[in-house]
Amino acid sequence: LGCGDGAFLLAMAARFPDRNFLGTERLLGRVEKVCRAIARNHLGNARILRLESHYAMQWLLPAACADIVHIGFPDPWPKRHHHPRRLFQDDFMVSLRQVLAPGGEVRIKTDDKPYFLWIEKVVGRAAGFARLEWPEEEGYPMTDFEQHFVEQGLPIYRARLRAT
């Protein structure tokens, strides 16, 4: 969700050609860039949808359609009066649970500790999720944001959940 420049989406689609990948992104320039990269790399298993992620999950995606949902570096909206704009809200968790297949996973990454603490509170209130350990995975692609933050030596906060 929120695929940014598409680096993660493209890497995953190339790594797992037998799986389908859908990226959501609301910014037109990013969508056009990712579309060109999908075509240039002949990735028939990758698509991108220009739409707000929560809206797509709530109104367009069928129930139980996703085995894994990756949410990398969502906008933290750090100002208090912008907190209602944050992706992680109680109603978002309901929509997220709805699109996950039984036993499906959510993988969340952010560099913003205050937002991560917010995410943990929202996740803690949500029904239908269990927290899982997330050991390092060899070859797991990084988003463009993650690469930038890792190069700066910043910590990355991660959560992995399973639909129960």
List Cα–Cα distances, 122 to 19, 24, 25, 116, 117, in angstroms: 30, 22, 22, 10, 9
Residue 67 appears among annotated catalytic residues: no
Angle between helix 28-40 and 7-15 (nearest 10): 30
Residue 12: closest CA among 159, 150, 140, 144: 140
Catalytic residue among 5, 18, 67, 75: 75
Q: What is the number of residues in the chain?
A: 164
Catalytic residue ranges = 75
